[in-house]
Amino acid sequence: MLSAQERAQVAQVWDLIAGHEAAFGAELLLRLFTVYPSTKTYFPHLGSCADKAQLLSHGRRMLEAVGVAVQHLDNLRAALRPLADLHAQVLRVDPSNFPLLIQCFQVVLASHLQDEFTVEMQAAWDKFLTGVAVVLTEKYR
Amino acid sequence: MVHFTAEEKAAVISLWARVNVELVGGEVLGRLLVVYPWTQRFFDNFGNLSSESAIMGNPKVKAHGKKVLTSFGNAIKHMDDLKDTFAELSELHCDKLHVDPENFKLLGNMILIVLATHFSKEFTPQTQAAWQKLTTAVANALAHKYH
């Protein structure tokens, strides 16, 4: 699915995120909830206004899962199987929400990397994250 | 009619004042054509779109990107009246250009990403939300006359 060059782009961007999963994840969630308030319906346990600690904690978990995906580009299905099961059986997040999360992810990357967020990086990450979303929703029915 | 709060209008207008329309317009359209290559279907007569560098450097892409973003500038002057403002353009995109309105959403999202690269931390979640509301409203206005 991803070419060798695209994999290199994905790895290059991940190098900048690794170690900062909590901060990136928290910003991702904050943007998601601010720009697309309907997504908060999937996080009732976070209350009407999630606090910083909750965002950091959940954000870190989400970004760590992205990190797992980055390490297993050759076999996303196997690596993400538990998460795919979780989304299919428990979370059941409507698939239309994944593009919203991906858009916010791109905005986070863009605002942090600025000029370094080249069009090639954006294309590779968009393709990669879309692939992850496909795997996570594949078992829905 | 979409209602924009005073804060939302301020967030949009203040950022817009600092946007280089020519530069950003070219970048937005270029990125759209690279990241979502199927959008190239509307630009068969644009010449060389064979690689990322060809697309980003293509003068027709830059010129058209500027045109599209300039139109966005008009939207910002008429945030309370987008459907009427874009009525003619909506008919054009439906009847002559045959553009699937889904593409308006893709372009809108691309505008936000490029703005984020330029304005970095200033492109706060609230600013992003205001701009997202605008691009969604413009996309809907452009789709309004479809039949």
Give dist(CA B131, CA B127) in Å, integer: 6
Task: Identify the pLDDT of residue A46.
Answer: 79
In this complex, is the C-beta atom of A112 within 8 Å of any C-beta atom belonging to chain B? yes
Question: Mean pLDDT in chain A?
Answer: 95
Task: Identify the pLDDT of residue A44.
Answer: 85
Q: Do B128 and A35 touch (CB under 8 A)?
A: yes
Burial class (CB in 10 A: 0-12, 13-18, 19+), B144: middle
pLDDT band of residue B1 (cuts 50, 70, 90) is confident
Which of residues 62 through 101 in chain A touch B, CB cutoff 8 A? none
Tens digits of per-residue pLDDT, B25-39? Answer: 999 999 999 999 999
Q: Report DSSP state, residue A90.
A: I
Q: Do A111 and B120 touch (CB under 8 A)?
A: yes
Is residue A78's pLDDT more than 90? Answer: yes
Name the phi and psi angles at B144, rounded to 5: -60, -35
pLDDT band of residue A49 (cuts 50, 70, 90) is confident
What residues contact B38, with CB distance under 8 A and at least 6 apart? Answer: none
Chain B: closest CA distance from residue A55 (Å): 14
Q: Provide the ipTM.
A: 0.92
Task: Identify the pLDDT of residue A51.
Answer: 87
In this complex, is the C-beta atom of A117 within 8 Å of any C-beta atom belonging to chain B? yes
pLDDT band of residue A1 (cuts 50, 70, 90) is confident
- Across the range A76-98, mean pLDDT stands at 96
* A110 close to B116: Cβ distance less than 8 angstroms: yes
pTM of the model: 0.94
Task: Identify the pLDDT of residue B43.
Answer: 95
pLDDT band of residue A45 (cuts 50, 70, 90) is confident
Task: Identify the pLDDT of residue B103.
Answer: 96
Which of residues 13 through 32 in chain A touch B, CB cutoff 8 A? 27, 30-31
In this complex, is the C-beta atom of A113 within 8 Å of any C-beta atom belonging to chain B? yes
pLDDT band of residue B140 (cuts 50, 70, 90) is very high
Is residue A50's pLDDT more than 90? Answer: no
Q: Do A110 and B34 touch (CB under 8 A)?
A: no
Tens digits of per-residue pLDDT, A55-73? Answer: 999 999 999 999 999 999 9
Question: Mean pLDDT in chain B?
Answer: 97
Between B21-35 and A119-137, two packed helices, what is the crossing angle to 10 degrees?
40
Tens digits of per-residue pLDDT, B45-57? Answer: 999 999 999 999 9
Q: Do A112 and B114 touch (CB under 8 A)?
A: no
Is residue A115's pLDDT more than 80? Answer: yes
Burial class (CB in 10 A: 0-12, 13-18, 19+), B108: buried
CATH of domain B6-143: 1.10.490.10
Residues in A closer than 8 angstroms to B117, CB to CB, are 110-111, 113-115, 117
In this complex, is the C-beta atom of A123 within 8 Å of any C-beta atom belonging to chain B? yes
